[in-house]
Amino acid sequence: MDTNLALILVLTPLLGFLVNVFFGKSLGKTVSGAIGTVAVAISFVVSLLLFNQITSTGKGIEVTLFDWIQISNLKINLGFLLDQLSVLWLLFVTGIGSLIHLYSISYMHDDENMHKFFAYLNLFVFFMITLVIGSNLLVLFIGWEGVGLCSYLLIGFWHKNQDYNDAAKKAFIMNRIGDLGLLIGMFIIGTMFSTLDYATLKTVIAGATNLNLPLLSLAALCLFIGACGKSAQIPLYTWLPDAMAGPTPVSALIHAATMVTAGIFMVTRLNFVFDLATDVQTVIAVIGAITSLVAATIGLVQNDIKKVLAYSTVSQLGLMFLALGFGAYEVAVFHVITHAFFKACLFLGSGSVIHGLHGEQDMRNMGGLRKAMPITFWTMLISSLAISGVPFFSGFFSKDEILLTAFHHSIPLYVVGSVASIMTAFYMFRLMFLTFFKEFRGTEEQKHHLHESGALITIPLIILAILATFGGLISLPGNSWLNEYLAPLFAKATEGEHHLGTTEYTLMGVAVLGGLLGILIAYIKYFKQDNVPEADENITGLSKVLYNKYYVDEVYDAVFVAPVNSLSKFFRDYIETGLSALVFGLGKIANEIAFQGKKLQTGSIGLYLFVFVLGLCAIVSYIFLAQ
């Protein structure tokens, strides 16, 4: 029964993928879209069933299909583990997934390759599910690389544009760098405990005496590198903003709600490993904090509506890692969920805007859309409030938890985090004001076509907005349903629970004030004085640096890519030719000797006889000498 459920869960999206790949074109756009959506919806239903089961029984389900890879000291089977964590993830992956599928039916309707789009989306969901429910690290790795592949395909969906293809390639390769880390981590763990299976691993580690902690920390570090790749943390974050080249639903699904949270998922999964590697946890926390700050600063000045959202995603992920670093896994998970809601909503909203403006993404050419597309406006407003941490929206609770935890562990990181969230509030409302208020700054022709998007687009927006509003209820400070739900997963007694004392309340207040402050600044700057960001060329000073993302891409190019390429040229032009010349050289030498030798063969009998006699004398005299 469980097996069948699990299989249905996994295979329906795959089925959808196959159907769309092979028959999609002939089925026509709407049908293929419907198929894709239904496939995911089914998985969602199944996940609901599973969720129900888990909550009732309270223990996970293990499903083993067959042996996959045999290695002398560890045997890896293809199996699934459906426990609280994975089911939780399933819920929002498939849930939001189906919403976004729905949205895409209308959004992608003008694209001639719509069936492919849905095929890829389904494939993504399939791999994402595999990633989430895999019962050991290697199955997770299937999903891990699979989603990477899908993001490659979807970023480069409009493959005629080589820049998009570059972005896709970049995403894949940066992920691969992380994946190498993940692999190495697996190797170490496999060597140490000769298993990659979560359950076994947990018990083994729990029971283990005198662990080789340094080695384990190294493993944890490698795993974290993997997480960095997937979840766009410093130093491997630069691919995510570029990934916005893909269609907006993709950005919403893959690069905001689900795939990028895989890193957090993995760390949470292996909490029992990370708990032992405290120094690595510090590293995680620090990197998370820095990432959130850096990304936020960059976000301040971006003018591409999707870029802003992208950097905000990076910064939010940073916050999550901050929480992870402090071992507050459930807090991170909480934020993952709420973030999934409002960020998906924001992206879809921006998509709706872009749709309405026929592909315009630059906020400098927007404005005054409030009247034209009210639903989009309201939903996005709600989400912005949520992300800015305005009280009683979901983001408020989750972000607050994180900052609380940070405060309890290290003040500096807390400060960094708070600053980041203030900035968040600022640039989100900068976005809102620039997009929806004032007069429309686009072309007449665009203005003429301004319209609210269709139901298929607005319905998901509304649903997500609702979730973004009330999502916080699942883990209210004080009595948190989520914490209890997740409790069985964690080795250490969870530490998200803070009895609400005065400090907590003051901190909350500070956070709220910070958020409001950010909004206020944005209001003054972009509503009262209604200035509009400069055109690219006359951006100057610090903002220029920020606008160019601290030139990180350029640096990476100069430090890593360019050397490799020039090395490649060098090898090709010199080493290769040199080596083959070496081999040919031997032949040439022989030929040269032959050429000289030919001169010896003069054809004169006299010489021949002379050499003959010489040889004779040489031999005879040798005989004499030898005597």
Partner 1 sequence: MGNILNQIGIENYIFLSVVLFCIGIFGVLYRRNAIIVFMSIEIMLNAVNLLFVAFSTYHQDAQGQVFVFFSMAVAAAEVAVGLAILVSIFRNIGSISIDNLKNLKG
Partner 2 sequence: MNVSTILIILLIGAFATYFSGDKLASKVALLFSLVALGCSIVLLNNYSTGENISVINSWITQPKISFALNADGLGLAMVLLTAALTPIIIFSSFGNEYKNAKAFYGLILFMSFAMTGTFLASDGLLYYIFWELALIPIYFIALIWGNGDAEERRKAVVKFFIYTLAGSLFMLTAFIYLYQKAGSFLIEDLYKLDLSACEQLWIFLAFFLAYAIKIPIIPFHTWQANVYQKAPTVGTMLLSGIMLKMGLYSVIRWQLPIAPLAAKEYMDIFIVLGIAGVIYGSIVALRQKDLKKLLAYSSLAHVGLIAAGSYTLTLDGLRGAVMQMIAHGFVVVGLFFAAEVIFRRFETREIEAMGGIRTQSPKFTSMFLILVLASVALPSTFNFVGEFTVLYSLSQVNIWFAILGGTTIILGAYYMLRMFQHVMLGETNSKTFADVTLNEGISFAVIIAVLLFFGFYPKPITDLITPSLETILQVINKN
Partner 3 sequence: MNTLIAITGLGIFCLLFEILNLRKAIIPITILGLIGVLALNFYEFGTEQSYYNNMVAVSKFSTAFSSLFIVLTIFLVALSHNFYQNHPTKISDYVAIKVFLLAGAVAMVSFGNLAMFFLGIEILSIALYVLAASDRLNIKSNEAGMKYFLMGSFASGIILFGICLIYGAMGSFDISEIHESALSAELPIWFPIGLILMIIGMLFKVAAVPFHFWAPDVYEGSPALTTALMSTLAKVVAIATLFKLISGMNVISSLENQDLLHTFEVIVVIISIASMSVGNIMALRQVNVKRMLAFSGISHAGFMLMTLLTVSASAGVLLYYTAAYALSGIAAFSVILYVCRDQDNEDITNFHGLGKTNPLLAAILTASLLSMAGIPIFSGFFAKLFLFNQTIQAGYIGLVIVAVINSIISVGYYFKLIIAMYSKEPNQERTGRPFLIYAAAVVSIALNIILGLFPSLVLDLLQ
The entry of partner 2, partner 3, partner 1, none that residue 180 binds, CB within 5 to 8 Å by partner kind: partner 2
458, 376 contact by CB (below 8 A): yes
Closer to partner 3 by CB, 581 or 593: give it: 593
Burial of 222-242, coded b for 16+ CB within 10 Å and e otherwise, reads bbbbbbbbbbbbbebbbbbbb
Q: Which does 501 bind (CB under 5 to 8 A by kind): partner 1, partner 2, partner 3, none?
A: none
Binding mask 556-595 for partner 1 (x = CB under 8 A): ----------------------------------------
Q: Is the Cβ of residue 571 or residue 622 nearer to partner 3 in the bound state?
A: 622
Give the span between the Cα atoms of 474 and 324, in whole angstroms. Answer: 19
Out of 160, 448, 499, 598, the residue judged to bind partner 1 by CB under 8 A = 598
- Our CB check for partner 3 shows the closer of 66 and 624 to be 624
Can you give the three-state secondary structure of 566-614, one letter per residue? HHHHHHHHHHHHHHHHHHHHHHHHHHHHHHHHHHHCCCCHHHHHHHHHH
Is 624 among the residues that bind partner 1 (CB under 8 A)?
Answer: no
Question: Which one of 213, 513, 575, 609 is in contact with partner 1 (CB under 8 A)?
Answer: 609
Nearer to partner 3, 71 or 609 (CB): 609
Comparing CB distances to partner 2, the nearer of 49 and 142 is 142
What's the rounded Cα separation, in Å, for the pair 549 and 538? 16
Nearer to partner 2, 7 or 545 (CB): 7
From the list partner 2, partner 1, partner 3, none, pick the one residue 71 interacts with, judged by a Cβ distance below 5 to 8 Å according to partner type: partner 2
Distance (Å, whole) CA 40 – CA 42: 5
By CB under 8 A, is residue 623 in contact with partner 1? Answer: no
Give the one residue of 18, 180, 456, 466 binding partner 2; rule: CB under 8 A: 180
Cβ neighbours of residue 148 closer than 8 Å, sequence gap 6 or more = 171, 172, 175, 176, 179, 230
Quick one: 566 or 621, whose CB is closer to partner 3?
621
Tell which one of 542, 558, 579, 613 touches partner 1 (CB under 8 A).
Answer: 613
Part in contact with partner 2 (CB under 8 A); list of ranges 10-18, 396-404, 499-507, 565-573: 565-573
550 vs 622, beta carbon nearer partner 3: 622
Site for partner 1 in 68-87 (CB under 8 A): none
CA distances from 607 to 75, 602, 604, 619 (A): 79, 8, 6, 18
Q: Considering only residues 606, 625, 626, 627, which one is a binding residue for partner 1 as defined by CB under 8 A?
A: 606
Interacting residues of 68 by C-beta distance below 8 A, sequence separation 6+: 76, 77, 78, 138, 139
Q: Which secondary-structure segment (H or E) carries 352?
A: helix 329-356
If one asks whether residue 179 binds partner 2 (CB under 8 A), the answer comes out as yes
**Least spacing, CB of residue 247 vs partner 2, in Å:** 16
Which does residue 159 bind out of partner 1, partner 2, partner 3, none, counting CB within 5 to 8 angstroms by kind?
partner 2
CA-CA distances (angstroms) from residue 69 to 197, 206, 540?
Answer: 13, 26, 56
Q: Which of 465, 440, 458 is nearest to 450 (CA)?
A: 440
Q: Among 210, 529, 601, 627, which residue sits at the site for partner 1 (rule: CB under 8 A)? A: 601
Least distance in Å: CB of 621 to partner 3? Answer: 11
Report CA torsion sign: 479, 484, 490, 493: positive
Q: Considering the rule CB under 8 A, would residue 177 count as an interface residue with partner 2?
A: yes
Tell me which of 564, 605, 625, 626 binds partner 1, using CB under 8 A: 605
Please state, in angstroms and rounded to a whole number, the distance separating the CA atoms of residues 133 and 63.
10
| CA 350 – CA 346 distance, rounded (Å) | 6
CB of 21 to partner 2, least distance (A): 8
- Shortest Å distance, C-beta 574 to partner 2: 11
**Contacts for 426 with CB less than 8 Å, ≥ 6 apart:** 300, 518, 519, 521, 522
- Which of the choices partner 3, partner 2, partner 1, none does residue 176 contact, using the CB cut-off of 5 to 8 A by kind? partner 2
Task: Decide if 236 contacts 182 (C-beta within 8 A).
Answer: no
| Residue 30 vs 580, nearer CB to partner 2 | 580
Task: State both tokens at 576.
Answer: 């290769």
Shortest Cβ 147–partner 2 spacing (Å): 11
Residues 6-45: x where in contact with partner 2 by CB under 8 A, - otherwise, as a string: ---------------x------------------------
User: Is residue 602 a contact point for partner 1 (CB under 8 A)?
Assistant: yes
Count of positions on this chain that bind partner 1 (CB under 8 A) = 10
149 by DSSP, 3-state: which?
helix
Q: What are the phi and psi torsion angles at 157 (to 5°)?
A: -60, -40
Give the closest residue to 383 by CA, choosing from 460, 437, 442: 460
Q: How far is the CB of 619 from partner 1 (least distance, A)?
A: 15
β-strand pairing of 74-82 with 61-71: antiparallel
Distance CA(183)–CA(191), nearest Å, equals 12
| Residue 615 interface partner, choices partner 2, partner 1, partner 3, none, CB cut-off 5-8 Å depending on type | partner 3
603 is an interface residue for partner 1 by CB under 8 A: yes
Nearest to 483 by CA among 501, 498, 500: 498
What is the spatial distance between Cα 598 and Cα 602, in angstroms, rounded to a whole number? Answer: 8
Stretch that binds partner 2, among 10-18, 159-167, 312-320, 416-424 (CB under 8 A): 159-167
Question: Burial code of 168-181, b = ≥16 C-beta within 10 A, e = fewer?
Answer: bbbbbebbebbbeb
- Pick from 307, 327, 304, 303: nearest CA to 315: 307
The reply to whether 596 sits near partner 1 by the rule CB under 8 A is no
Complex with partner 1: residue 517 or 607, whichever CB lies closer: 607
Which one, of 6, 2, 4, 13, lies nearest residue 98 by Cα?
Answer: 13
Structure tokens belonging to residue 357:
């403006």
Residues 6+ away with beta carbon under 8 Å from 223: 181, 182, 185, 266, 267, 270, 273
Binding site for partner 3 (CB under 8 A): 587, 590-591, 593-595, 597-598, 601, 603, 605, 607-609, 611-612, 614-616, 619-620, 622-624, 626-627
Question: In the complex, which residues of this chain contact partner 2 (CB under 8 A)?
Answer: 21, 66-72, 78, 116, 138, 141-142, 144-146, 149, 152, 156, 159-160, 162, 165-166, 169, 172-173, 176-177, 179-180, 183-184, 187-188, 190-191, 564-565, 567-569, 571-572, 575-576, 579-580, 582-584, 587
Question: In the complex, which residues of this chain contact partner 1 (CB under 8 A)?
Answer: 598, 601-606, 609-610, 613
